[in-house]
Protein backbone atom coordinates (compact mmCIF):
# COMPACT_ATOMS: atom_id res chain seq x y z
CA UNK A 1 0.00 0.00 0.00
CA UNK A 2 2.67 2.42 1.00
CA UNK A 3 4.62 1.73 -2.13
CA UNK A 4 1.62 2.36 -4.35
CA UNK A 5 0.91 5.68 -2.66
CA UNK A 6 4.49 6.64 -3.26
CA UNK A 7 4.33 5.81 -6.96
CA UNK A 8 1.09 7.78 -7.34
CA UNK A 9 2.76 10.76 -5.66
CA UNK A 10 5.77 10.63 -7.90
CA UNK A 11 3.57 10.40 -10.99
CA UNK A 12 1.52 13.41 -9.91
CA UNK A 13 4.65 15.49 -9.34
CA UNK A 14 5.99 14.57 -12.73
CA UNK A 15 2.70 15.34 -14.50
CA UNK A 16 2.34 18.68 -12.77
CA UNK A 17 5.84 19.59 -13.78
CA UNK A 18 5.36 18.27 -17.29
CA UNK A 19 2.51 20.71 -17.88
CA UNK A 20 4.15 23.69 -16.23
CA UNK A 21 7.46 22.45 -17.60
CA UNK A 22 6.32 22.98 -21.18
CA UNK A 23 5.63 26.63 -20.50
CA UNK A 24 8.95 26.95 -18.69
CA UNK A 25 10.76 25.18 -21.52
CA UNK A 26 9.35 27.59 -24.08
CA UNK A 27 10.88 30.56 -22.27
CA UNK A 28 14.01 28.73 -21.09
CA UNK A 29 14.82 28.24 -24.77
CA UNK A 30 15.05 32.03 -25.19
CA UNK A 31 18.25 31.90 -23.10
CA UNK A 32 20.80 31.19 -25.80
CA UNK A 33 24.55 30.79 -26.10
CA UNK A 34 24.57 33.74 -28.46
CA UNK A 35 22.84 36.08 -26.01
CA UNK A 36 24.95 34.93 -23.07
CA UNK A 37 28.08 35.57 -25.10
CA UNK A 38 26.92 38.99 -26.22
CA UNK A 39 26.17 40.02 -22.65
CA UNK A 40 29.42 38.61 -21.30
CA UNK A 41 31.45 40.41 -23.97
CA UNK A 42 30.23 43.61 -22.31
CA UNK A 43 30.35 42.59 -18.63
CA UNK A 44 33.84 41.05 -18.90
CA UNK A 45 35.21 43.78 -21.16
CA UNK A 46 38.22 45.99 -20.45
CA UNK A 47 35.86 48.95 -20.23
CA UNK A 48 34.52 47.70 -16.88
CA UNK A 49 38.09 47.34 -15.55
CA UNK A 50 37.53 44.16 -13.60
CA UNK A 51 34.52 45.60 -11.70
CA UNK A 52 36.18 46.09 -8.32
CA UNK A 53 33.78 47.18 -5.59
CA UNK A 54 33.48 50.96 -5.08
CA UNK A 55 35.44 51.81 -8.23
CA UNK A 56 34.49 53.37 -11.57
CA UNK A 57 34.47 49.96 -13.24
CA UNK A 58 31.92 48.62 -10.77
CA UNK A 59 29.71 51.67 -11.25
CA UNK A 60 29.84 51.30 -15.04
CA UNK A 61 28.85 47.64 -14.73
CA UNK A 62 26.00 48.55 -12.35
CA UNK A 63 24.70 51.17 -14.80
CA UNK A 64 24.83 48.65 -17.63
CA UNK A 65 22.95 45.94 -15.69
CA UNK A 66 20.37 48.54 -14.67
CA UNK A 67 19.93 49.54 -18.33
CA UNK A 68 19.21 45.91 -19.23
CA UNK A 69 16.66 45.47 -16.43
CA UNK A 70 14.90 48.63 -17.64
CA UNK A 71 14.98 47.51 -21.25
CA UNK A 72 13.24 44.23 -20.34
CA UNK A 73 10.55 46.11 -18.42
CA UNK A 74 11.55 45.02 -14.90
CA UNK A 75 10.33 47.32 -12.16
CA UNK A 76 12.92 49.05 -9.96
CA UNK A 77 13.66 46.72 -7.06
CA UNK A 78 14.43 49.31 -4.40
CA UNK A 79 11.61 51.85 -4.19
CA UNK A 80 11.99 53.88 -7.36
CA UNK A 81 15.63 52.90 -7.78
CA UNK A 82 17.28 49.91 -9.43
CA UNK A 83 20.19 50.12 -7.02
CA UNK A 84 20.64 49.49 -3.34
CA UNK A 85 23.60 51.67 -2.44
CA UNK A 86 25.74 50.85 0.61
CA UNK A 87 28.74 52.61 2.13
CA UNK A 88 32.28 51.28 2.02
CA UNK A 89 35.17 52.79 3.96
CA UNK A 90 38.84 53.29 3.24
CA UNK A 91 41.51 54.74 5.51
CA UNK A 92 44.50 56.82 4.53
CA UNK A 93 47.51 57.23 6.79
CA UNK A 94 48.67 60.81 7.24
CA UNK A 95 51.40 60.33 9.82
CA UNK A 96 52.70 57.81 12.35
CA UNK A 97 55.37 58.10 15.03
CA UNK A 98 56.70 55.85 17.78
CA UNK A 99 58.69 57.03 20.77
CA UNK A 100 60.16 54.62 23.32
CA UNK A 101 61.50 56.40 26.37
CA UNK A 102 63.24 59.30 24.63
CA UNK A 103 64.14 57.62 21.37
CA UNK A 104 62.18 58.04 18.16
CA UNK A 105 61.78 54.98 15.93
CA UNK A 106 61.26 55.58 12.23
CA UNK A 107 58.05 54.47 10.55
CA UNK A 108 58.59 51.52 8.17
CA UNK A 109 62.19 51.07 9.42
CA UNK A 110 61.27 50.01 12.95
CA UNK A 111 57.51 49.86 13.04
CA UNK A 112 54.46 49.60 10.82
CA UNK A 113 50.77 49.20 11.47
CA UNK A 114 47.61 47.64 10.22
CA UNK A 115 45.86 50.70 9.01
CA UNK A 116 42.26 49.58 9.31
CA UNK A 117 42.38 48.88 12.99
CA UNK A 118 45.13 51.30 13.96
CA UNK A 119 44.42 53.85 16.66
CA UNK A 120 43.75 57.34 15.40
CA UNK A 121 45.37 59.70 17.87
CA UNK A 122 47.92 59.52 20.65
CA UNK A 123 48.41 56.63 23.08
CA UNK A 124 50.76 56.31 26.05
CA UNK A 125 51.62 52.79 27.17
CA UNK A 126 53.26 52.30 30.58
CA UNK A 127 53.19 48.53 30.74
CA UNK A 128 53.30 45.67 28.25
CA UNK A 129 52.82 41.96 28.79
CA UNK A 130 55.42 39.95 26.93
CA UNK A 131 53.82 36.61 26.02
CA UNK A 132 56.71 35.16 24.01
CA UNK A 133 55.28 33.50 20.87
CA UNK A 134 51.74 34.22 22.00
CA UNK A 135 50.62 30.66 21.35
CA UNK A 136 47.76 29.12 23.27
CA UNK A 137 46.82 25.65 22.08
CA UNK A 138 46.89 22.01 23.18
CA UNK A 139 50.67 21.77 23.12
CA UNK A 140 51.68 25.11 24.50
CA UNK A 141 50.16 27.97 26.48
CA UNK A 142 52.17 31.19 26.62
CA UNK A 143 49.27 32.86 28.45
CA UNK A 144 49.26 30.38 31.34
CA UNK A 145 48.53 32.21 34.61
CA UNK A 146 48.62 35.63 32.90
CA UNK A 147 45.69 37.99 32.54
CA UNK A 148 46.11 40.31 29.55
CA UNK A 149 42.66 41.83 29.67
CA UNK A 150 42.87 45.55 28.86
CA UNK A 151 46.67 45.34 28.44
CA UNK A 152 49.03 45.71 25.49
CA UNK A 153 50.67 42.41 24.63
CA UNK A 154 54.07 41.98 22.96
CA UNK A 155 54.38 38.85 20.82
CA UNK A 156 57.22 37.25 18.82
CA UNK A 157 56.07 36.75 15.24
CA UNK A 158 57.43 33.30 14.41
CA UNK A 159 57.31 29.82 15.91
CA UNK A 160 59.76 28.43 18.46
CA UNK A 161 60.98 26.11 15.68
CA UNK A 162 61.50 28.97 13.20
CA UNK A 163 63.29 31.53 15.30
CA UNK A 164 66.84 30.40 14.51
CA UNK A 165 66.17 30.11 10.80
CA UNK A 166 67.67 32.64 8.43
CA UNK A 167 64.45 32.95 6.51
CA UNK A 168 62.80 36.31 6.77
CA UNK A 169 59.43 35.22 5.56
CA UNK A 170 56.62 35.53 8.01
CA UNK A 171 53.69 33.17 8.14
CA UNK A 172 50.55 35.28 7.95
CA UNK A 173 48.27 32.45 8.92
CA UNK A 174 50.19 31.87 12.14
CA UNK A 175 50.32 35.60 12.82
CA UNK A 176 46.56 35.90 12.38
CA UNK A 177 46.02 32.99 14.75
CA UNK A 178 48.14 34.82 17.34
CA UNK A 179 46.22 38.04 16.80
CA UNK A 180 42.99 36.10 17.26
CA UNK A 181 44.28 34.54 20.49
CA UNK A 182 45.35 37.89 21.96
CA UNK A 183 42.07 39.51 20.93
CA UNK A 184 39.98 36.72 22.43
CA UNK A 185 41.87 37.16 25.71
CA UNK A 186 40.87 40.83 25.75
CA UNK A 187 44.20 42.50 24.91
CA UNK A 188 43.86 46.27 24.45
CA UNK A 189 46.50 46.30 21.72
CA UNK A 190 48.98 43.99 20.05
CA UNK A 191 52.65 44.64 19.36
CA UNK A 192 54.22 42.03 17.10
CA UNK A 193 58.00 41.71 17.00
CA UNK A 194 58.55 41.10 13.31
CA UNK A 195 61.48 40.02 11.18
CA UNK A 196 60.22 42.06 8.24
CA UNK A 197 62.37 45.04 9.30
CA UNK A 198 65.57 43.03 8.73
CA UNK A 199 64.71 42.81 5.06
CA UNK A 200 65.71 45.98 3.25
CA UNK A 201 63.88 44.84 0.09
CA UNK A 202 60.62 44.20 1.89
CA UNK A 203 57.22 45.22 0.62
CA UNK A 204 56.27 48.67 1.91
CA UNK A 205 52.61 48.81 2.84
CA UNK A 206 50.69 51.51 0.94
CA UNK A 207 49.40 54.46 2.93
CA UNK A 208 45.88 53.70 1.70
CA UNK A 209 44.32 50.73 3.47
CA UNK A 210 42.02 48.01 2.22
CA UNK A 211 38.36 48.88 1.89
CA UNK A 212 36.11 47.71 4.68
CA UNK A 213 32.49 47.67 5.64
CA UNK A 214 31.19 48.58 9.08
CA UNK A 215 29.21 45.75 10.56
CA UNK A 216 25.77 46.53 11.82
CA UNK A 217 25.71 46.26 15.60
CA UNK A 218 29.47 45.63 15.73
CA UNK A 219 31.79 48.30 17.10
CA UNK A 220 34.57 47.65 14.56
CA UNK A 221 37.08 48.36 17.31
CA UNK A 222 39.32 45.33 17.12
CA UNK A 223 42.57 45.81 19.03
CA UNK A 224 45.18 47.94 17.25
CA UNK A 225 48.03 45.93 15.77
CA UNK A 226 51.54 47.35 15.44
CA UNK A 227 54.62 45.52 14.16
CA UNK A 228 57.96 46.50 15.69
CA UNK A 229 61.59 45.60 15.02
CA UNK A 230 63.59 43.59 17.55
CA UNK A 231 65.58 46.78 18.26
CA UNK A 232 62.36 48.55 19.25
CA UNK A 233 61.41 45.52 21.35
CA UNK A 234 64.78 45.76 23.06
CA UNK A 235 63.99 49.36 24.05
CA UNK A 236 60.44 48.52 25.17
CA UNK A 237 61.67 45.71 27.45
CA UNK A 238 64.97 47.44 28.37
CA UNK A 239 66.76 44.16 27.68
CA UNK A 240 69.74 43.67 25.39
CA UNK A 241 68.49 42.01 22.21
CA UNK A 242 71.22 41.99 19.58
CA UNK A 243 69.57 39.68 17.12
CA UNK A 244 66.11 38.30 16.55
CA UNK A 245 66.91 34.90 18.10
CA UNK A 246 67.85 36.57 21.41
CA UNK A 247 64.14 37.03 22.02
CA UNK A 248 63.78 33.41 23.04
CA UNK A 249 65.74 34.14 26.22
CA UNK A 250 63.31 36.80 27.46
CA UNK A 251 60.92 35.62 30.14
CA UNK A 252 57.18 35.96 29.91
CA UNK A 253 55.59 38.58 32.14
CA UNK A 254 54.73 42.23 32.71
CA UNK A 255 57.27 44.91 31.84
CA UNK A 256 57.08 48.58 32.80
CA UNK A 257 57.90 50.81 29.84
CA UNK A 258 57.39 54.26 28.31
CA UNK A 259 55.94 54.06 24.89
CA UNK A 260 54.11 56.69 22.91
CA UNK A 261 52.33 56.06 19.63
CA UNK A 262 50.88 58.86 17.55
CA UNK A 263 48.83 58.04 14.45
CA UNK A 264 46.78 60.27 12.19
CA UNK A 265 44.56 58.81 9.56
CA UNK A 266 41.53 59.93 7.59
CA UNK A 267 38.61 57.78 6.55
CA UNK A 268 36.97 58.16 3.16
CA UNK A 269 33.41 56.98 2.62
CA UNK A 270 32.93 55.32 -0.77
CA UNK A 271 29.85 53.76 -2.31
CA UNK A 272 28.99 50.47 -3.88
CA UNK A 273 25.66 48.94 -4.83
CA UNK A 274 23.50 45.93 -5.52
CA UNK A 275 21.48 46.17 -8.73
CA UNK A 276 17.88 45.06 -8.16
CA UNK A 277 14.95 44.66 -10.54
CA UNK A 278 11.71 42.76 -10.05
CA UNK A 279 8.93 41.07 -11.94
CA UNK A 280 5.83 41.30 -9.83
CA UNK A 281 3.96 38.12 -9.02
CA UNK A 282 0.22 37.55 -9.32
CA UNK A 283 -1.72 35.77 -6.54
CA UNK A 284 1.41 35.30 -4.39
CA UNK A 285 3.14 38.56 -5.10
CA UNK A 286 3.93 39.13 -1.41
CA UNK A 287 6.22 36.09 -1.55
CA UNK A 288 9.59 36.16 -3.27
CA UNK A 289 12.10 34.14 -5.23
CA UNK A 290 15.47 35.91 -5.13
CA UNK A 291 17.98 35.19 -7.90
CA UNK A 292 21.52 36.41 -7.25
CA UNK A 293 25.00 36.55 -8.74
CA UNK A 294 27.86 38.89 -7.92
CA UNK A 295 28.90 41.36 -10.61
CA UNK A 296 32.02 42.62 -8.82
CA UNK A 297 35.46 41.10 -9.31
CA UNK A 298 39.07 41.92 -8.46
CA UNK A 299 39.53 45.09 -10.54
CA UNK A 300 42.63 46.54 -12.10
CA UNK A 301 46.18 46.72 -10.72
CA UNK A 302 48.33 49.84 -10.82
CA UNK A 303 50.32 48.39 -13.73
CA UNK A 304 47.11 48.18 -15.77
CA UNK A 305 46.54 44.43 -15.41
CA UNK A 306 42.81 43.73 -15.52
CA UNK A 307 41.13 40.84 -13.72
CA UNK A 308 38.30 40.26 -16.19
CA UNK A 309 36.38 37.73 -14.11
CA UNK A 310 34.56 36.28 -17.12
CA UNK A 311 33.66 33.11 -15.24
CA UNK A 312 33.86 34.68 -11.75
CA UNK A 313 31.23 35.93 -11.83
CA UNK A 314 30.55 37.42 -15.23
CA UNK A 315 28.93 34.08 -16.05
CA UNK A 316 26.46 34.36 -13.15
CA UNK A 317 25.79 38.04 -13.85
CA UNK A 318 24.82 37.43 -17.48
CA UNK A 319 22.73 34.43 -16.41
CA UNK A 320 20.72 36.78 -14.16
CA UNK A 321 20.36 39.27 -17.03
CA UNK A 322 19.19 36.54 -19.42
CA UNK A 323 16.82 35.00 -16.87
CA UNK A 324 15.33 38.46 -16.29
CA UNK A 325 14.72 38.81 -20.01
CA UNK A 326 13.15 35.34 -20.26
CA UNK A 327 10.81 35.92 -17.30
CA UNK A 328 9.89 39.34 -18.69
CA UNK A 329 8.99 37.78 -22.07
CA UNK A 330 6.90 35.16 -20.29
CA UNK A 331 5.00 37.84 -18.41
CA UNK A 332 4.30 39.73 -21.64
CA UNK A 333 2.87 36.51 -23.10
CA UNK A 334 0.56 36.05 -20.11
CA UNK A 335 2.76 33.78 -18.02
CA UNK A 336 3.48 36.07 -15.11
CA UNK A 337 5.03 34.26 -12.12
CA UNK A 338 2.79 33.74 -9.09
CA UNK A 339 5.51 34.93 -6.71
CA UNK A 340 7.50 38.11 -7.23
CA UNK A 341 10.91 37.39 -8.71
CA UNK A 342 13.77 39.54 -7.47
CA UNK A 343 16.76 39.71 -9.82
CA UNK A 344 19.74 40.97 -7.91
CA UNK A 345 23.36 41.28 -8.93
CA UNK A 346 25.39 42.10 -5.83
CA UNK A 347 28.82 43.69 -5.39
CA UNK A 348 31.41 43.33 -2.63
CA UNK A 349 31.45 39.53 -2.94
CA UNK A 350 35.20 39.33 -3.50
CA UNK A 351 35.80 41.59 -0.49
CA UNK A 352 33.83 39.31 1.83
CA UNK A 353 30.22 38.86 0.63
CA UNK A 354 29.46 42.51 1.45
CA UNK A 355 26.58 43.25 -0.93
CA UNK A 356 24.56 40.22 0.10
CA UNK A 357 25.45 40.89 3.73
CA UNK A 358 24.13 44.43 3.38
CA UNK A 359 20.99 43.20 1.63
CA UNK A 360 20.21 40.60 4.29
CA UNK A 361 20.86 43.17 7.04
CA UNK A 362 18.65 45.67 5.19
CA UNK A 363 16.27 43.40 3.28
CA UNK A 364 14.10 45.16 0.71
CA UNK A 365 11.75 42.15 0.72
CA UNK A 366 11.06 40.26 3.96
CA UNK A 367 13.39 37.30 4.36
CA UNK A 368 10.66 35.23 5.99
CA UNK A 369 8.60 35.69 2.83
CA UNK A 370 11.55 34.83 0.61
CA UNK A 371 10.87 31.27 -0.44
CA UNK A 372 14.32 30.62 -1.86
CA UNK A 373 17.56 32.20 -3.03
CA UNK A 374 19.17 30.67 -6.10
CA UNK A 375 22.74 31.91 -6.39
CA UNK A 376 24.89 31.47 -9.47
CA UNK A 377 28.63 31.97 -9.13
CA UNK A 378 30.87 30.58 -11.90
CA UNK A 379 28.91 28.43 -14.34
CA UNK A 380 30.82 29.10 -17.56
CA UNK A 381 33.72 26.69 -17.29
CA UNK A 382 34.58 23.04 -16.80
CA UNK A 383 36.31 21.71 -13.72
CA UNK A 384 39.36 19.78 -15.02
CA UNK A 385 38.87 17.42 -12.07
CA UNK A 386 35.27 16.58 -12.96
CA UNK A 387 34.96 12.82 -13.41
CA UNK A 388 31.65 12.43 -15.28
CA UNK A 389 30.39 13.96 -18.52
CA UNK A 390 32.23 17.25 -18.35
CA UNK A 391 29.98 18.77 -21.02
CA UNK A 392 26.83 18.07 -19.04
CA UNK A 393 27.17 18.68 -15.29
CA UNK A 394 26.59 21.26 -12.61
CA UNK A 395 27.67 21.37 -9.00
CA UNK A 396 24.59 22.01 -6.94
CA UNK A 397 25.33 23.01 -3.38
CA UNK A 398 22.96 23.40 -0.46
CA UNK A 399 20.04 21.22 -1.52
CA UNK A 400 20.38 19.01 1.56
CA UNK A 401 20.20 21.98 3.92
CA UNK A 402 17.36 24.12 5.33
CA UNK A 403 14.54 22.65 3.21
CA UNK A 404 13.66 19.09 2.25
CA UNK A 405 11.75 20.54 -0.74
CA UNK A 406 14.89 21.57 -2.62
CA UNK A 407 16.22 18.24 -3.81
CA UNK A 408 12.92 16.73 -5.06
CA UNK A 409 12.26 19.87 -7.10
CA UNK A 410 15.70 19.73 -8.75
CA UNK A 411 15.31 16.01 -9.39
CA UNK A 412 11.88 16.38 -10.96
CA UNK A 413 13.08 19.13 -13.28
CA UNK A 414 16.07 17.05 -14.15
CA UNK A 415 13.89 14.28 -15.54
CA UNK A 416 13.71 16.39 -18.67
CA UNK A 417 17.10 18.11 -18.45
CA UNK A 418 19.17 15.04 -17.66
CA UNK A 419 22.12 17.10 -16.50
CA UNK A 420 24.56 15.50 -14.05
CA UNK A 421 23.72 17.18 -10.76
CA UNK A 422 26.84 16.70 -8.69
CA UNK A 423 26.16 17.22 -4.99
CA UNK A 424 29.55 16.21 -3.61
CA UNK A 425 30.24 19.66 -2.12
CA UNK A 426 27.36 19.23 0.32
CA UNK A 427 29.66 17.06 2.39
CA UNK A 428 30.22 18.97 5.64
CA UNK A 429 33.78 17.67 5.71
CA UNK A 430 34.67 19.01 2.27
CA UNK A 431 37.71 21.26 2.81
CA UNK A 432 36.63 23.74 0.11
CA UNK A 433 33.66 24.91 2.19
CA UNK A 434 31.95 26.29 -0.93
CA UNK A 435 28.61 26.49 0.88
CA UNK A 436 30.03 29.28 3.03
CA UNK A 437 31.87 31.12 0.26
CA UNK A 438 29.39 32.94 -1.91
CA UNK A 439 26.43 35.24 -1.45
CA UNK A 440 23.76 32.61 -0.85
CA UNK A 441 25.35 32.00 2.55
CA UNK A 442 24.06 35.32 3.86
CA UNK A 443 20.55 34.16 2.94
CA UNK A 444 21.13 30.71 4.43
CA UNK A 445 22.36 32.26 7.69
CA UNK A 446 19.02 34.03 7.87
CA UNK A 447 17.02 30.85 7.33
CA UNK A 448 16.27 31.25 3.61
CA UNK A 449 16.66 27.93 1.71
CA UNK A 450 19.26 28.28 -1.04
CA UNK A 451 20.83 26.48 -3.96
CA UNK A 452 24.26 27.51 -5.13
CA UNK A 453 25.14 26.66 -8.76
CA UNK A 454 28.79 26.34 -9.58
CA UNK A 455 31.20 24.73 -12.06
CA UNK A 456 34.23 24.32 -9.77
CA UNK A 457 37.55 26.13 -9.79
CA UNK A 458 40.16 26.06 -12.57
CA UNK A 459 43.64 27.35 -13.26
CA UNK A 460 42.40 30.83 -14.21
CA UNK A 461 40.44 31.28 -10.97
CA UNK A 462 41.22 34.76 -9.54
CA UNK A 463 43.78 35.41 -12.27
CA UNK A 464 43.80 38.00 -15.08
CA UNK A 465 43.44 35.03 -17.45
CA UNK A 466 39.79 34.38 -16.46
CA UNK A 467 38.66 35.69 -19.85
CA UNK A 468 35.69 35.26 -22.16
CA UNK A 469 37.29 33.04 -24.80
CA UNK A 470 37.67 30.29 -22.19
CA UNK A 471 33.94 30.15 -21.48
CA UNK A 472 32.06 27.06 -22.65
CA UNK A 473 28.86 28.73 -23.76
CA UNK A 474 27.14 25.49 -24.78
CA UNK A 475 27.46 23.99 -21.30
CA UNK A 476 26.62 27.34 -19.73
CA UNK A 477 23.42 27.65 -21.77
CA UNK A 478 22.15 24.33 -20.44
CA UNK A 479 23.05 25.27 -16.88
CA UNK A 480 21.35 28.66 -17.21
CA UNK A 481 18.18 27.06 -18.59
CA UNK A 482 18.18 24.56 -15.73
CA UNK A 483 18.44 27.35 -13.15
CA UNK A 484 15.74 29.33 -14.94
CA UNK A 485 13.40 26.32 -14.89
CA UNK A 486 14.07 25.77 -11.18
CA UNK A 487 13.23 29.42 -10.49
CA UNK A 488 10.09 29.05 -12.63
CA UNK A 489 8.86 26.03 -10.69
CA UNK A 490 9.65 27.63 -7.34
CA UNK A 491 7.91 30.88 -8.29
CA UNK A 492 4.76 29.05 -9.37
CA UNK A 493 4.26 26.18 -6.91
CA UNK A 494 1.47 26.35 -4.37
CA UNK A 495 3.56 26.63 -1.21
CA UNK A 496 6.68 28.43 -0.18
CA UNK A 497 9.54 26.01 0.44
CA UNK A 498 9.27 24.58 3.91
CA UNK A 499 12.08 25.29 6.35
CA UNK A 500 12.49 21.99 8.13
CA UNK A 501 16.25 21.36 8.37
CA UNK A 502 18.44 23.28 10.82
CA UNK A 503 21.60 24.83 9.42
CA UNK A 504 24.84 23.25 10.59
CA UNK A 505 28.04 25.28 10.30
CA UNK A 506 31.03 22.96 10.82
CA UNK A 507 34.06 24.27 12.67
CA UNK A 508 37.19 24.81 10.63
ZN1 LIG B 1 32.71 34.48 -7.37
Give the pLDDT score at 325: 98
Report residues near ion ligand 1: CB below 5 Å: 312-313, 377
* Å from CA of 315 to ligand 1 middle: 9
338-384 residue pLDDT tens: 999 999 999 999 999 999 999 999 999 999 999 999 999 999 999 99
* Å from CA of 58 to ligand 1 middle: 15
* Å from CA of 256 to ligand 1 middle: 49
- Run of H or E residues at 59: helix 56-72
The DSSP 8-state label assigned to residue 107 in this structure reads: B
Least confident of 109-123, 129-143, 463-477: 109-123
Least confident of 158-167, 310-319, 333-342, 435-444: 158-167
Give the pLDDT score at 508: 64
* Å from CA of 94 to ligand 1 middle: 34
Give the pLDDT score at 5: 40
Give the pLDDT score at 85: 98
* Å from CA of 113 to ligand 1 middle: 30
* Å from CA of 312 to ligand 1 middle: 5
**Does residue 439 contact residue 41 with C-beta atoms inside 8 Å?**
no
Nearest Cα neighbor of 182 from 145, 134, 226 is 134
- Percent of the chain scoring above 90 in pLDDT: 79
Whether the predicted pLDDT of 492 surpasses 70: yes
- Percent of the chain scoring above 70 in pLDDT: 93
Whether the predicted pLDDT of 200 surpasses 90: no
**Does residue 262 contact residue 97 with C-beta atoms inside 8 Å?**
yes
* Å from CA of 54 to ligand 1 middle: 17
Which is higher by pLDDT, 503 or 480? 480
**Does residue 296 contact residue 350 with C-beta atoms inside 8 Å?**
yes
* Å from CA of 97 to ligand 1 middle: 40
Which is higher by pLDDT, 198 or 448? 448
* Å from CA of 309 to ligand 1 middle: 8
282-303 residue pLDDT tens: 999 999 999 999 999 999 999 9
Give the pLDDT score at 465: 98
231-284 residue pLDDT tens: 999 999 999 999 888 998 899 999 999 999 999 999 999 999 999 999 999 999
Query: Given pLDDT bands bounded at 50, 70 and 90, which one contains residue 15?
Result: very low
- Run of H or E residues at 449: none
Calculate mean pLDDT across residues 406-410.
97
Which is higher by pLDDT, 506 or 152? 152
Whether the predicted pLDDT of 500 surpasses 50: yes
Give the pLDDT score at 219: 45
Query: Going by C-beta distance under 8 Å and a sequence separation of 6 or more, which residues neighbour residue 184?
Result: none
Highest mean pLDDT among 128-132, 137-141, 430-434: 128-132
Query: Going by C-beta distance under 8 Å and a sequence separation of 6 or more, which residues neighbour residue 226?
Result: 98, 111, 112, 113, 114, 118, 189, 190, 191, 192, 261
- What is the C-alpha to C-alpha distance for residues 53 and 347, in angstroms, rounded to an integer? 6
Query: Given pLDDT bands bounded at 50, 70 and 90, which one contains residue 207?
Result: confident
419-476 residue pLDDT tens: 999 999 999 889 899 999 899 999 999 999 999 999 999 999 999 999 999 999 999 9
Q: In terms of CATH architecture, what is 90-268?
A: 3-Layer(bba) Sandwich (3.50)
The domain limits of the chain are: 2-85+271-375+395-417+433-492, 90-268
* Å from CA of 313 to ligand 1 middle: 5
Whether the predicted pLDDT of 221 surpasses 70: no
The CATH classification number of 2-85+271-375+395-417+433-492 equals: 3.40.630.10
Amino acid sequence: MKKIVLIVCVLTTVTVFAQKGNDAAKFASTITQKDLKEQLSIIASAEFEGRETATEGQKKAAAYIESQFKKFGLLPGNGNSYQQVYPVYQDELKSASLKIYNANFAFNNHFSLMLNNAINGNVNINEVVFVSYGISDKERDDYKGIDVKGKWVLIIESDPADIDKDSLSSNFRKTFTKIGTATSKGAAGILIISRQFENTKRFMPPSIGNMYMKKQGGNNSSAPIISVSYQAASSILTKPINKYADLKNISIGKYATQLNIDVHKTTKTLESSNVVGIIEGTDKKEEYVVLTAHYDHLGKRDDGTIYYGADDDGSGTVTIIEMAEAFAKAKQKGYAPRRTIVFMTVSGEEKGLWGSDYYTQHPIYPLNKTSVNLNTDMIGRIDPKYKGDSLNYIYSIGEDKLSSDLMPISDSINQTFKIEIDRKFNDLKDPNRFYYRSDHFNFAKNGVPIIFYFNGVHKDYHRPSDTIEKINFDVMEKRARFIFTTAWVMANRNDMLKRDIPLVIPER
